[in-house]
Chain A
Amino acid sequence: MNPTTSRAAARIPTTIGLAAGIALAVTACSSAPATEDPTASAAPHGYVAGATESQEPQLRLLSVSATGATAVHDLLTGDDTDLDSVDAPEHSATDGRFLVTSDADRTTIVDSGAWTVDHGDHTHYYAAEPRVVGTLDGGGRVEVHSSETLTTVTWPDRSAGVVLDRAALGQGEVEVTARVEAAVLLPMGDRLVAASDDGVRVLDGDGGTRGNGEAQPCVDPAGGIVTRAGAVVGCAAGAVVVDEGGEAALVALPDADPGAGRPTTFAARAGRPTVAGLAGDTGFWLLDARERSWQHVPTERPLRTVVAVDDDDEHVVGVDDQGRVVVHTLATGSVATTAPLVDPATTPLLQLDAQRAYLATPDGRTVHEVDFADGARVARTIELPLAPTAFAEVGL
């Protein structure tokens, strides 16, 4: 279980409607009934009581042990904070703020209390108290994705998904606003992208059909990620990319090594349009959701997990079958590798931000901080208060 980070640019950067809307409202005042706003006293959208804004990302490592012990490590101060215990996790996923863990029966949501809001021309960084928010009935393999207003939790093996009010979640309330039968369910602004055997559809935030409800065919949907260039759903033939206008198109996988197969999970630095997925034992796939193109990159050893940084140097960070961190710098073609850092028999837990990657495994408390831009240098080793079965870098 390797949480993949996936979150859209929080706001589609078109703010011009606001002033226009107010001007209209002023002229309409005599006929329009005053709309009462019952949330006027509640903590507002995107805001948590007690949250403070910071000058830089409030990067933290949120970890859950095999028994469900939960702790947050602050990467800036080095402080550890214990949270309430959760069910012993069998699966997990993160959206860069929330960590969801599940066993066979139940799913738990933990708020790391650290997040970033991207407003296009500038970015806000917030920090609040971390806490266990609550649970959802039903377990199994789980995924979580967020836009600024919506969070979706999906159990792909049961083709079940729920939509949560993200503002309420940030205030400690699990408010299910819709249930959708889908193998992949992604928020895109205030709308949803849902994939089932019938294909990929764009839905309203409440799960209702949008427009003519026409589906883009997608055989055997598996894996999804939200990027600032659109939502990505993995299909047998490649990936369906849905842009901000709701237009869906299949980006077909090119012919490659027959062993490459199709990626069934996608991972990238939060919001970035180029995402990575494993290509069987042959290496990895990169999908550029903006350019609508695939690239197959062979690797020396099979990779166990892979994440695209999508920075100027086009770094891609993976962990191979010998427990080494492998950094591909596609802009130059160079490859850098660490010594074996983790037991190859364990599941590598890899997370990253714009500057650093963090590698942990369930068999120990040590986290390796890797500077991927500096020849895969191990910059620091960090001792967590517990050995993580679920592991998320948050504040992203």
Chain B
Amino acid sequence: MSRLARCIGAAVVALVVSATASACSTSGSDRPLVAVTTNILGDVVTEVVGDAAEVMVLMPAGADPHSFEVSAKEAARLRSADLVVENGLGLEEGVARHVEAAAADGVPVFTAGDAVDALEWSSDDGSGPDPHLWTDPARMVDVVEALDEELRTIGVDATGTSAYLDELTTLDAEMSAAFDTLAPDDRTLVTNHHVFGYLADRFDFRVVGAVIPSGTTLASPSAADLRDLAEAIEDAGVPTIFADASQPARLAEVLAAEVDVRVRIVPLATESLTADGAASTYLGMMRSNTAAIVDGLSSSS
């Protein structure tokens, strides 16, 4: 299908849904348009394409990749893009139908998950592919190499590929060196984040899933409420757990008071870049997580 035909199709959608977007004229640029679903991949793609293409990132900073949504205008532009880049492996549930619609219009779709050796998660109740591949920088090298090829196929000569591959290789080496300072027995992440399977696979960590007691429990806690978490912490022998908790200070306090477990509670950046700060780029997010993990698990901490 020609670019023109896609534009017409997209314009029809725009008319149907809101009559506010004119999909073919909103880019304000003659450069090819690469639409990216998640903001982590958005940062990577922006670095890779350089000024060879315009990059539109659908997922806002701080949003959840599983459930973020796009406006009608963005959905229309997605269908007029020259390439759609998605994470895949089931990550972008909310936006998947828009990607499918673009694919049905003939827009090529690059799926990062197809470029890597994917891991599986499993629980008592099921299993499936683990989509959180970005926690391993080596797999991101695979993604960027495959992406560069895909860009060439659609006629985009990405200007940043080789520099960004160097950055990823450096990141990978830095993380290896940083984690090497931890004794093998110290490489245990007790966490309620579910995204670190690939990092663990790459850098020989053990991930111990932890359930953080809820706010209703912390209002009037008992040792029974904290038993599972305390056992996980004591079995792992870690001084720090990595968790999102709504009341981390209160949790640390009741762990000490009720079950005599003294532990630091540190959050990590997981599924979304932030608007500002260390986790506003992929490389920054990985470096800040690495520093937090090494700091939290060092025997001297």
Q: Name A residues whose Cβ lies closer than 8 Å to a Cβ of B.
A: 9, 12-16, 18-19, 21-23, 25-26, 28-30, 32, 34-38, 40-41, 43-47, 53-57, 59, 75-76, 117, 119-122, 124, 228-229, 312, 353-356, 369, 371, 373-374, 377, 379-380
Contacts and interface: CB of A to CB of B under 8 A. Distances in A.
Mostly, the B contact residues are mixed
Which range contains the number of B residues in contact with the other chain? 35 or more
B31 interface: no
Contacts of A38: 16-17
Given A356-B216, A374-B223, A22 B121 contact: no
B97 to A, nearest CB: 7
B246 to A, nearest CB: 5
Interface of B: 1, 9, 12-13, 16-18, 64, 66-67, 69, 71-72, 75-76, 86, 88-90, 93-94, 96-101, 103-109, 111, 113-114, 121, 123, 125-131, 194, 212-217, 219-220, 222-225, 228, 244-246
Contact of B71 (A34, A41, A117, A124): A41
B222 A15 contact: no
Given A37-B13, A40-B98, A41-B71, A76 B216 contact: yes
Nearest to B99: A22
A97 B126 CA distance: 24
Contact of B224 (A23, A34, A371): A371
A13 B101 contact: no
A121 B105 CA distance: 32
B103 to A, nearest CB: 4
Contact of A374 (B93, B129, B222): B222
Given A40-B75, A53-B64, A124-B66, A25 B121 contact: no
B138 to A, nearest CB: 21
A56 B16 contact: no
Given A21-B100, A120-B126, A380 B1 contact: no
A373 B67 CA distance: 34
Q: Nearest 9 A-B pairs (CB), nearest first?
A: A15-B90, A13-B126, A29-B106, A41-B72, A374-B222, A25-B103, A379-B220, A373-B224, A41-B17
Contacts, number: 167
Contacts of A18: 88-90, 96
A12 B16 CA distance: 33
A356 B13 contact: no
A121 B214 CA distance: 19
A40 B121 contact: no
B216 A47 contact: no
B214 A355 contact: yes
Interface of A is mostly: loop
A354 B107 CA distance: 46
Contacts of A43: 69
Nearest to B105: A34
Contacts of B94: 44-47
B16 to A, nearest CB: 6
Most chain B CB within a 10 A radius of its CB, from A16, A37, A57, A379: A37
Nearest to B74: A40
Nearest to A27: B103
B235 to A, nearest CB: 15
A36 B222 contact: no
Nearest to B217: A355
B67 A19 contact: no
A152 B211 CA distance: 31
Contacts of A30: 1, 106
A59 B215 CA distance: 9
A373 B225 contact: yes
Given A26-B109, A54-B246, A76-B214, 4 more contacts: A41-B75, A47-B69, A355-B214, A379-B219
A206 to B, nearest CB: 19
B243 to A, nearest CB: 9
A80 to B, nearest CB: 16
A41 B93 CA distance: 16
A355 B223 CA distance: 12
Given A124-B66, A379-B219, A19 B111 contact: yes
A19 B111 CA distance: 7
24 contacts: A13-B123, A14-B126, A15-B90, A16-B128, A18-B96, A21-B100, A22-B109, A34-B101, A34-B104, A41-B18, A44-B94, A53-B64, A55-B212, A55-B244, A59-B216, A75-B216, A117-B67, A122-B194, A124-B64, A229-B125, A373-B225, A374-B222, A379-B220, A380-B219
A120 B128 contact: yes
Nearest to A372: B224
Chain B CB within 10 Å — which of A25, A34, A122 has the most? Answer: A34
Contacts of A121: 121, 123, 128, 130, 194
Contacts of B97: 37
A363 B67 CA distance: 42
Contact of A355 (B67, B93, B216): B216
Nearest to A380: B220
Nearest to B78: A40
B90 A57 contact: no
B237 to A, nearest CB: 22
Tell which of B16, B194, B216 has the most Cβ of chain A within 10 Å. Answer: B216
Contacts of B131: 15
A29 B101 CA distance: 10
B246 A56 contact: yes
A15 B89 contact: yes
Most chain A beta-carbon contacts within 10 A, residue among B9, B213, B214:
B214
Nearest to A379: B220
A18 B113 CA distance: 11
Contacts of A14: 126, 128
Nearest to A35: B104
B111 to A, nearest CB: 5
Contacts of A76: 214-216, 246
B125 A29 contact: no
A13 B127 contact: yes
B222 A379 contact: yes
Given A36-B13, A37-B97, A56-B246, A371 B220 contact: yes
